[in-house]
Amino acid sequence: MRSSKSGSDKMVETKVDTVDIRSSAGQGQETRPVQIVHQLHPPAPADSNSGGGVLASATASIASAIQSAKDAVSGK
């Protein structure tokens, strides 16, 4: 297992050497070496447009549209 940091965004990468074993009905097992790469991404800043802020804004817009439709139907 090897770990490394790359780039200015500090993405951490861990490489793991392992074995992939596959078998099919009526056939023998196939074994081959593989390398798995795990990448840990840094968390998004709190003021970015990903995450709760966008969802909260979309939810508020939908709620407003539904209320407007209810008001229009009820004659308010």
Q: Please check whether residues 26 and 38 belong to one and the same domain.
A: yes
Domain range for 71 is 45-76
Q: Please check whether residues 3 and 34 belong to one and the same domain.
A: yes
Give the model's pLDDT for residue 45: 65
- Number of domains making up the chain: 2
pLDDT along the chain (76 residues), means of 10: 57 90 90 92 64 78 91 82
Give the model's pLDDT for residue 51: 57
Give the model's pLDDT for residue 31: 94
Give the model's pLDDT for residue 11: 73
Give the model's pLDDT for residue 72: 87
Give the model's pLDDT for residue 57: 84
Q: Please check whether residues 5 and 37 belong to one and the same domain.
A: yes
Distances (CA, A) of 1 to 42, 50, 76: 21, 32, 66
pTM score > 0.85 for this model?
A: no
Q: Please check whether residues 19 and 53 belong to one and the same domain.
A: no
